[in-house]
Structure 1
């Protein structure tokens, strides 16, 4: 990922702008609530914080002006000058979140000035700020003043080798640290020991995120040796480090000491068939594991054939992600014996494993033994009619199912009635994706009847894109009934990139239907061509609804 930020600078001098404190306290969070200062996060997404309703105009801060020499850090006068009046001079500030704020070097000087005033700080997040690069030492030199820090996030800060070294020196000063995120910093790779070498046995660290850090196999070996020191570890994310597969033996040995681990993510780590054997030998030590991500390791294919028995030991597993792992028929046969035993499983992703096609009938049929399953992704699996029929039958036993993705399975076309028969049992369904399924007019007509009967009352997202074989009559029947989906927020009926068609009279039915849907915000209609009369109808519709619904017609219109 890259973030483009505009600078108004010349020779290092910034133009006049809103002060850092004014900008920060209007658009970020500085809280003193213990309940709100800790947020457990296991995903890789950054969070955009909206301005607080009660954030008023605050006192300005000259970022180039040093602190008064005769003012003791943390004094009443300093806080009164640097913090906004509504916090008060005695506020016990515990969270400083500057994620994706486009900080400048001057802003960082302001952060350095603030740290001595926040002795109770528990969370510091300066992720996605390029200007941190090369300047982290100025912050880490103040770390001893925030020794209560529990969460430190430095994702995508373009850390340099000196930044990495400075961070390693500073970590010793924050013994209460529980979460460290250094993801998307390529210089961490090859230098990981400089950061983590001072971790002591009994470390309180619970979350370690090193996504896309260009880790070397030596770094992987170091992680393996370090894991026994982190017996409180709950989340380990080493995703998108393609070289650590070579050191998985060391990592696997270290994982034996992390019995509290709840999340293990090794997405796109260059794992091989032998990696499955190494991990399978570890699973019995990870009795608390809830989330296992081995996705996008294309060399794993064939590894599950003789090495998946211990997977069943993960009785608390809730998320299993094996998408794009080149699973073979032998893998599927082995997983058929194991996956139905994971009674706590809530999310299963087997997508983009095209070789599992005809061999997955037994596996999909036995999903009925997973009553807690909420999300099932089998898109792009080259399913055949028999396997789709087995899945349709099993769905009747999955009352908690909320997300189903069958996209890019051509066998669904003409056979959707098999699944629709079971939809009356899927009262919780929120997301249904049927993109590029070769649907025909009969399929959408049947879907319309199910919608009219109220069996999809909770549906929020419906994807019918890339189904170009549906005629105008089919779209008309569908659009006349889509208004019954009162919870719908997103609908996609786009055409394939290689085709385009004129909208039929059904477009008027669509406008009439969505006008009754209070929650809809996005309608994908790429490559549908609106004649002039329909363009005018859409323009009037948008005016009446104040543009609250976005019609995505692509670049053509």
Structure 2
């Protein structure tokens, strides 16, 4: 939902020159005031004196506009709005009309009281985010009691607020007062676990909720079953995130039954949910009903190992799937064989994460070669998969057919070292690559010299992040060649050439080449050089660079020699 903000600073209204614009501005202001303070207006209107120029009926508002004088209530309202604006400015926020974002503001209890006082002046509020503020816990009742004043609320985020059981109960009652709610985020609140029905029981058929995020809420198996029962009511649900709730795996059957009734679901995240080998088959029974699903995250469920051997074909039913995350799922050789048949059929796939599945290293040659059938692929994460020479060769050949690739992570695959030349053609042809990670790949001097030649030829022009860390075998001559060419990466923002934690070395003469190159890279802000030690002369050169160029670039190095 697009955020709609409106500056409430009174001085800006006064800057309008045209009398017509001024009248519209006053009318808007008074209408806002009338909505926020109806009871107060009625009392004040009864006390107003009737005169020949100001009749006692409703036409007195028109008379006010004719004379150009503000209502007495407006005079009282203006200081209140200025006070609200001061409160927001203190927190580094701007005055708003429909969006109040106080996420991670370090709110104290006094701040929360001020925020509660602010709500009556924001009757059109559609988004309220007070996530990552610990002091919200135990005080939510004071906020929920004002929910009837912000009944147009569409987004409510209360992530990591240390909600108590009493807070959870109060929230359950308050949700009934905001029927327009489309997004609810209660993530990282452990007291939600075991109490989920208290919160969501007010949801009725026809609920407008589209996004429900309950990450790491200590949900119980019973909570999972409740979600399964609730899903048929949430016909408009598009995003469901139950990640990091390890106990809901036991209620996956009930959850899958509910998923069959959520035909509009676009995102399903079950990261680290204690899913078992049988879970793939259980979930697969619902896939035929999830024709709109765009993102599926089953990552960090190590007990899924072997689960795709009998059930991976059901993934092919997700014709519109764009993101598939299976990292750290302990995929077996059998899983890889079945995925080899399915993944090429997901022609809309844009992001594929198979990282941290070390058992697939020797059996993924066919799978990686078939990535050529995914022309829309933008992100490929295959780091720490124990790739072997044959599998890396298959990957390199397939990568030539991935013109849209923007993120490529091969880190922690030792077979890349000495074989980067296999990727030469794809690197030469790449026009979209923005992130390239080759950390701990046992790269040698020849590899980095090859990379430098590709960069120097004007390739990889879109690259923004380059990670060459933990490749300690590259000699100073190799780093010198690289630093002389890195200046051609005009859009680079981050570069990491750090050494392993167990190693440290003096910077060679290449450091001066690096400083020279940085002056020609306008966007760079971060250079990782951990455990590279600067001799005094190079430290002085860095200080001169900082003084002369006055750029905010962080050199994270190992310090002085």
Give the shorter-chain TM-score range.
0.7 to 0.9
Equivalent in the alignment of 2:129: 125
Correspondences of 1:34-49 after superposition (within 5 Å): 35-37=2-4
Shift of 1:201: 1.3
Change in 2 beyond 3 A, CA 1:55/1:350: farther
In the alignment, structure 1 residue 151 sits paired with structure 2 residue 149: no
Q: Name the structure where helix makes up a greater proportion of residues.
A: 2
User: What residue ranges of structure 1 are gaps of 5+ in the alignment?
Assistant: 1-33, 39-51, 58-66
Answer yes or no: is the 8 Å Cα contact 2:3–2:98 preserved in 1. Answer: no
Stretch deviating more after TM superposition (68-77 or 139-148): 68-77
User: Counterpart of 1:259 in 2: which secondary structure?
Assistant: coil
Equivalent in the alignment of 1:17: none
Shift of 1:422: 1.8
User: Counterpart of 1:281 in 2: which secondary structure?
Assistant: helix
Among residues 393, 411, 417, which one is paired with 1:413 in the alignment? 417
Equivalent in the alignment of 2:293: 289
Equivalent in the alignment of 1:218: 222
Shift of 1:313: 1.3
Shift of 1:511: 1.1
Answer yes or no: is the 8 Å Cα contact 2:324–2:351 preserved in 1. Answer: yes
User: Counterpart of 1:208 in 2: which secondary structure?
Assistant: strand
Rounded Cα–Cα distance in structure 2 between residues aligned with 1:92 and 1:506: 51
Change in 2 beyond 3 A, CA 1:442/1:264: same
Change in 2 beyond 3 A, CA 1:68/1:35: closer
Correspondences of 1:436-455 after superposition (within 5 Å): 436-455=440-459
Rounded Cα–Cα distance in structure 1 between residues aligned with 2:301 and 2:450: 38
Equivalent in the alignment of 1:42: none
Shift of 1:84: 3.2
Describe the superposition over 1:245-275 as per-residue Cα deviations: whole angstroms up to 9, x where unpaired: 1111111110000000001011111111111
**How many residues were matched structurally?**
501
Rounded Cα–Cα distance in structure 2 between residues aligned with 1:56 and 1:503: 56
Rounded Cα–Cα distance in structure 1 between residues aligned with 2:121 and 2:301: 47
Change in 2 beyond 3 A, CA 1:474/1:339: same
Equivalent in the alignment of 1:496: 500
Change in 2 beyond 3 A, CA 1:275/1:73: farther
Larger Rg: 2
Shift of 1:71: 3.2
Shift of 1:554: 4.4
Rounded Cα–Cα distance in structure 1 between residues aligned with 2:303 and 2:76: 58
User: Counterpart of 1:36 in 2: which secondary structure?
Assistant: coil
Answer yes or no: is the 8 Å Cα contact 2:194–2:223 preserved in 1. Answer: yes
Change in 2 beyond 3 A, CA 1:227/1:554: farther
Among residues 428, 435, 448, which one is paired with 1:431 in the alignment? 435
Answer yes or no: is the 8 Å Cα contact 2:498–2:528 preserved in 1. Answer: yes
In the alignment, structure 1 residue 327 sits paired with structure 2 residue 328: no
Equivalent in the alignment of 2:191: 187
Rounded Cα–Cα distance in structure 1 between residues aligned with 2:10 and 2:559: 39
Answer yes or no: is the 8 Å Cα contact 1:73–1:116 preserved in 2. Answer: no
Equivalent in the alignment of 1:43: none
Among residues 101, 121, 136, which one is paired with 1:97 in the alignment? 101
Shift of 1:116: 2.0
Answer yes or no: is the 8 Å Cα contact 1:500–1:529 preserved in 2. Answer: yes
Rounded Cα–Cα distance in structure 1 between residues aligned with 2:459 and 2:230: 52
Rounded Cα–Cα distance in structure 1 between residues aligned with 2:267 and 2:82: 39
Change in 2 beyond 3 A, CA 1:329/1:517: same
Among residues 178, 199, 217, which one is paired with 2:203 in the alignment? 199
Answer yes or no: is the 8 Å Cα contact 1:102–1:129 preserved in 2. Answer: yes
Among residues 476, 480, 498, which one is paired with 2:480 in the alignment? 476
Equivalent in the alignment of 2:376: 372
User: Counterpart of 2:324 in 1: which secondary structure?
Assistant: strand
In the alignment, structure 1 residue 396 sits paired with structure 2 residue 400: yes
Among residues 30, 36, 40, which one is paired with 1:71 in the alignment? 40
Shift of 1:101: 1.4
Shift of 1:503: 1.0
Shift of 1:86: 11
Rounded Cα–Cα distance in structure 1 between residues aligned with 2:300 and 2:447: 32
User: Counterpart of 1:533 in 2: which secondary structure?
Assistant: helix
Correspondences of 1:229-268 after superposition (within 5 Å): 229-268=233-272
Answer yes or no: is the 8 Å Cα contact 1:37–1:123 preserved in 2. Answer: no
User: Counterpart of 2:304 in 1: which secondary structure?
Assistant: coil
Rounded Cα–Cα distance in structure 2 between residues aligned with 1:37 and 1:329: 51
Equivalent in the alignment of 1:81: 79
Answer yes or no: is the 8 Å Cα contact 1:320–1:347 preserved in 2. Answer: yes
In the alignment, structure 1 residue 528 sits paired with structure 2 residue 526: no
Tell me the C-alpha RMSD between the 2 structures: 2.5
Change in 2 beyond 3 A, CA 1:329/1:73: farther
Shift of 1:292: 0.7
| TM-score calculated relative to the size of structure 2 | 0.85
Change in 2 beyond 3 A, CA 1:77/1:182: farther
In the alignment, structure 1 residue 141 sits paired with structure 2 residue 145: yes
Describe the superposition over 1:94-148 as per-residue Cα deviations: whole angstroms up to 9, x where unpaired: 2111111121222222222222222221111111111111111111111112111
Answer yes or no: is the 8 Å Cα contact 2:141–2:167 preserved in 1. Answer: yes
Change in 2 beyond 3 A, CA 1:392/1:131: same
